[in-house]
Amino acid sequence: MLLWPKDEPWPTCPGPHVVPTETPVPPQFAAQLRMPGPEVLEGLARMVTGFAGIRTTEAGTVLLGTEIVSEPAASPLVPVAQLHAADVPDLRCPAGTDVLQVLWCPNEHPTDAPAGPPVLLKWRAASTVVDQLDAAPAPLVVSEETYLPNPCVLHPEQVTEYPWWQELPNDLGRRIRDFDDTLGYGEHGYFSVSHAPGWKVGGCPSWDITDLVPMDCPHCRQSMDILLTVDSTESGTNQAWRPVEDSHLQPSHIDPEWAAAYEPTGVSVGRHGQLRIFVCLTCPDTPIRQNLQ
């Protein structure tokens, strides 16, 4: 449970949210949708809001879509992480604080694309919380199960990361890129060892999906700092960063021990990627920025 004063209002999200819809297809039309051509799909996209495909099961055929709904009441955010400065040496806290709390709304939002669930950061001084709330209020609506983290205890480990190749001097970055291109499948190069997978504080952001996107503060025009990375796996796909403690495990999604080591938080963001939260440490009023890779 987050360290939260009993008399402090719990943050909520008023919505609206994007919810999945299923429109049943009358059985006499289902056969025509088995191999739909482009014209049929275009027609369905005009008829069904947020058309996302056709699903046929023994129960029948449905058209999948999404719609935006307003909520009758604001829904409590869910706790995502709590980091104490004493446990995480790379956590740079604003003056007078020593705890970072991260919360988000476990639903899809019309404005999410492409940056994932809207995150709320709360910095506080642990010593100021005297009368503590026992449990977080449950969210009223949850459309994204993978935005509900499994309760986990952190075992932070400090590692060294190196800048994304496009953030290095041109010549050096290009030589590193060329070197990585000479490697064969399964060989570890700069790309796989310079950035650790898993949830992390600080480090160097990687830009493997979009290439480098400048994350500049609109106030001071300086590059914002990466505060936190929320990752969908702890050891990534290339296994260069597989923990020694897990080295006896063979990758297998049907092995519960492997799954617990590989995806212990149960959180998946983007297309099983990383959500990164950027802050400007110089300008406290600058809103955080989120980026998905």
Q: Which is nearer to Zn ion, 19 or 133 (CB)?
A: 19
- Distances in whole angstroms, Cα of residue 54 to Cα of each of 18, 29, 33, 49, 120: 19, 12, 8, 13, 35
- DSSP 3-state of 292: strand
Side chain identity, residue 169: P
Q: Which is nearer to Zn ion, 73 or 193 (CB)?
A: 73
83 part of the interface to Zn ion, by CB under 5 A:
no
Nearest to 135 by CA among 82, 51, 78, 184: 78
CB of 223 to Zn ion, least distance (A): 9
Q: Which is nearer to Zn ion, 106 or 236 (CB)?
A: 106
Q: Which is nearer to Zn ion, 108 or 263 (CB)?
A: 108
Answer for which of 48, 78, 217, 226 binds Zn ion (CB under 5 A) is: 217
- How many CB atoms lie under 10 A from the CB of residue 45? 13
Answer for which of 73, 89, 282, 287 binds Zn ion (CB under 5 A) is: 282
Residues between 251 and 270 that touch Zn ion (CB under 5 A): none
For the stretch 53-62, contacts whose Cβ atoms lie closer than 8 Å and that sit 24 or more positions apart, written own/partner, are 54/25, 55/22, 56/30, 60/24, 60/25, 60/27, 60/30, 61/24, 61/25, 61/27, 61/30, 61/33, 62/22, 62/23, 62/24, 62/25
283 part of the interface to Zn ion, by CB under 5 A:
yes
Nearest to 108 by CA among 65, 61, 53: 65
Distance, CA of 78 to CA of 140 (rounded, Å): 10
CB of 234 to Zn ion, least distance (A): 27
Q: Which is nearer to Zn ion, 47 or 113 (CB)?
A: 113
Q: Which stretch binds Zn ion (CB under 5 A): 42-50, 59-67, 146-154, 217-225?
A: 217-225
Q: Are 18 and 58 a contacting pair, CB within 8 Å?
A: no
74 part of the interface to Zn ion, by CB under 5 A:
no
Tokens representing residue 232 in the block = 């969908």
158 part of the interface to Zn ion, by CB under 5 A:
no
Q: Which stretch binds Zn ion (CB under 5 A): 3-11, 84-92, 190-198, 281-289?
A: 281-289
CB of 179 to Zn ion, least distance (A): 35
280 part of the interface to Zn ion, by CB under 5 A:
yes
The dihedral sign for the CA sequence 189, 190, 193, 195: negative
Answer for which of 2, 13, 176, 269 binds Zn ion (CB under 5 A) is: 13
CB of 67 to Zn ion, least distance (A): 15
Q: Are 277 and 121 a contacting pair, CB within 8 Å?
A: yes
228 part of the interface to Zn ion, by CB under 5 A:
no
Answer for which of 74, 220, 243, 257 binds Zn ion (CB under 5 A) is: 220
Distance, CA of 64 to CA of 276 (rounded, Å): 30
Residues between 84 and 113 that touch Zn ion (CB under 5 A): 105, 107
CB of 268 to Zn ion, least distance (A): 17
219 part of the interface to Zn ion, by CB under 5 A:
yes
**In the complex, which residues of this chain contact Zn ion (CB under 5 A)?**
13, 105, 107, 217, 219-220, 280, 282-283
